[in-house]
Homo-oligomer: A and B are copies of this chain.
Amino acid sequence: MLEIISRGETYGYEITQQLRELGFTDVVEGTVYTITMRLEKNKLVDIEKKKSNVGPPRKFYKLNTAGQERLEVFWERWEFVSSKINELKSKEIQRRR
């Protein structure tokens, strides 16, 4: 979600749909909103309310500096963890003993 928001201002309902298009087909709105709430709480996003002509007002999120830093940290950790997991998957383990 941080990455999705980093690509440009967006709002909860749209994030849900993007996740579904990405392949996470069973993501429901509730899940996404609990996460946007957390992003707010942790002050990783700036918020702007804009009215929509097809429904109730949308709450747009935009990464602030802290959010961008958090995203960078995420990607570093992702690189680390995913490389280790793939290493574990492919390689024989060294067994001491």
Task: Point out the residues of chain B lying under 8 angstroms from A8, CB to CB.
Answer: 95
How many copies make up the complex? 2
- Considering only residues 1-54 of chain A, those with a C-beta below 8 Å from chain B are 3-4, 7-8, 17-18, 21-24
Task: Point out the residues of chain B lying under 8 angstroms from A21, CB to CB.
Answer: 94
Interface size on A, residues (CB 8 A): 25
Hey, what's the 0/1 contact readout for A66-96 against B, CB within 8 Å counting as 1?
0000000001001010101111110011111
Distance in angstroms between the alpha carbons of A17 and B93 in the assembled complex: 12
Tell me, rounded to whole Å, the shortest Cβ–Cβ distance linking A12 to chain B. 15
Q: Which residues of A contact B (CB under 8 A)?
A: 3-4, 7-8, 17-18, 21-24, 75, 78, 80, 82, 84-89, 92-96
